[in-house]
Amino acid sequence: MLKFDVLIIGSGLAGMTLALYLAEHCKIGLITKRDLLEGSSTYAQGGIAAVLDTGDSVEEHIRDTLIAGAGLCNPDTTRFIVEHSREAIEWLIDLGVPFTRDGSHQTGFHLTREGGHSHRRIIHAADATGAAVTSTLGQKIKAHPNITVLEDHIAIDLVTSRKLGEEGNRCYGAYALDKQADEVITIAARHTIIASGGAGKVYLYTTNPDTATGDGIAMGWRAGCRVGNMEFIQFHPTCLYHPHSKSFLISEAVRGEGGILRLPDGTRFMPNHDPRAELAPRDVVARAIDFEMKKHGLDCVHLDISYKPAHFIKEHFPNIYAHCLELGIDITQQPIPVVPAAHYTCGGLVTDLAGRTDVEGLYAVGEAACTGLHGANRLASNSLLECLVIGKAAAADILSAPVNPLPAIPDWDDSRVTDPDEEVVISHNWDELRRAMWDYVGIVRTNKRLERALNRIHLLEEEIDEYYSNFHISNDLIELRNLVQTAELIVRSALSRKESRGLHFSRDYPETLHESQETVLDPRQT
């Protein structure tokens, strides 16, 4: 059994932030499903929203966030995170993150603008901000003697006092599968942080990496945590549409710098859907593209920035330019074929402003959490900011907490299971689930579609539970079990909302109710 002061599940920006803030005072164990830098944070292109310009203000950033969130953002959470945005960016700059410079700007950095923002406030590193941030922080994590990084490890379930037969419900660590050794290890910790990201892979088409399988949300739910606002899945409007490119995102900043959405015949359509046109929030743009594709029977629409000077495009979007060029698309001369794809899980495990969940000793930070910042639709580039601010707050809370003794934790018992006889069951169920979610729980929903999805999910749950009980576990089985659980939470949340708001659009309830209410599911009431 491994023992740490703090166990961090996930190696994106949320997990990295916590690790670095805690490392001088604690022994940290950080587990990640693949290598340290493989996760959604690394793939983030656009940047981090923060109030850095004297022409901008905290109040305007808050207002933009509340508008995008369609009346469902928590005002206190929003203010807390936005007010701490500058110090979060200064911390990254001090660590050496190479944000794009602009000598003519008062801040010394280039700030771009994205949909839903009233100002240029997105600080970025060209069009690969996530990679620049995580690689910088990752180097410091690997070099720190108090941080043990366990790559190729996937958490299976949390160890709680309830599971140990004790009173109350406190988290004492987790069981994890060492994928290289193919054995389950026990990791004991006084504090455990779920920083495992979202659940984009529950959908057939997503901008997320393969690691985004809702693991932390499902584990937290099974451990006794409430989940909030799971119906609000953000579909990014512009994922590259190409048979040889999987899940490649075309940054919102392309539209921020003047990119125009067009039909194949060149007709611009966004002004017909919203006066903000291409700079409308993501839910509006995604629904508009979905509408036009269905109306005209299209496989995709086109995002055109080719009218800008070639040197401007290559300077601002070098990675997008290079990737598209490899596929035979010269974005300085041609429009980019794009489609909406599942991008961000706005809901998650309910937490307070220190990342605390309903289970003592268990925190959730980043996309796996629901702090109330994103409401019914996340404002572009607020996600990495949330990781930084809540990550620091959670670290401070952990450092101020009393030291609790760890109980004896039994080893993982697999004495009564056998090797699987037909692994095709896993791949078949994986495919069936993701197709059902795409077809029935997508951008536009109906009760009939949602009920159809829930029926299929329940059948899949029965099969997977039986498989999980009888056979040795594998990475694919763990992820599938978590995906099905997360899918159920998404559908149940969607069925409970009798209106259309933000990212949840129902043909049965097209109006938005006057009063907004969060959707909260409690495992103790099921």
Mean pLDDT value across residues 472-489: 95
Q: 237-340 has which fold?
A: Flavocytochrome C3; Chain A, domain 1 (3.90.700)
At residue 302, the pLDDT reads 98
Is the pLDDT at 526 greater than 80? The verdict is no
Question: In the chain, what are the domain boundaries?
Answer: 2-231+346-400, 237-340, 424-517
Q: Confidence band (pLDDT; 50, 70, 90) for 506?
A: very high
Q: What is the pLDDT of residue 107?
A: 87
In 3D, which of 465, 413, 477 has the Cα closest to residue 163? 413
Poorest-pLDDT segment among 164-178, 326-340, 396-410, 414-428: 414-428
Confidence of residue 407 (pLDDT cuts 50, 70, 90): very high
**Burial environment of residue 27 by CB neighbours within 10 A (0 to 12, 13 to 18, 19 or more):** middle
Query: What percentage of the chain carries pLDDT values higher than 70?
Result: 100
C-beta atoms surrounding 510 within 10 Å:
9
Q: Span 297-301, mean pLDDT?
A: 92
Active site residues: 282
Q: Given a cut of 80, is residue 242 above it in pLDDT?
A: yes
Considering the four listed CATH numbers 3.40.710.10, 3.50.50.60, 1.20.140.10, 3.40.50.2300, the one that applies to the domain covering 2-231+346-400 is 3.50.50.60
Structural domain 424-517, CATH architecture: Up-down Bundle (1.20)
For the chain, the average pLDDT equals 94
Question: 201-215, 327-341, 402-416, 421-435: which has the minimum mean pLDDT?
Answer: 421-435
Are the CB atoms for 337 and 240 separated by under 8 Å?
yes
Tell me the whole-structure pTM to 2 decimals: 0.91
2, 185 Cβ separation under 8 angstroms: yes
CA atoms of 59 and 46, how far apart (whole Å): 22
Residue range 156-165: average pLDDT?
A: 94
In the chain, what percentage of residues exceed pLDDT 90?
81
pLDDT tens per residue, range 439-470: 899 999 999 999 999 999 999 999 999 888 88
pLDDT (0 to 100) of residue 416: 80
Nearest to 357 by CA among 459, 225, 451, 502: 225
Q: For the segment 349-380, what is each residue's pLDDT rounded down to a tens digit?
A: 999 999 999 999 999 999 999 999 999 999 98
pLDDT (0 to 100) of residue 8: 98
What gap in Å lies between CA 443 and CA 506, rounded to an integer?
9
pLDDT tens-digit map of 65-83: 999 999 999 999 999 999 9
CA nearest to 191, candidates 21, 347, 35: 21
Handedness of CA 504, 506, 510, 511 (dihedral sign): negative
Q: Alpha-carbon distance 17 to 387, whole Å?
A: 7
pLDDT at 413 over 90: no
526: which residues sit within 8 A by CB, 6+ positions away? none
The span from the CA of 217 to the CA of 485, in Å, is 9
Confidence at 149, pLDDT banded by 50, 70, 90? very high
**Token pair of 239, please?**
């994922």
Task: Please identify which residue in the block is written with the tokens 């996600």.
Answer: 383
322/525: higher pLDDT: 322
344 vs 120: CA distance, rounded Å: 22
Per-residue pLDDT at 470:
86
Whole-number pLDDT of residue 422: 67
Q: How confident is the model at residue 39 (pLDDT cuts 50, 70, 90)?
A: confident
pLDDT of residue 244: 85
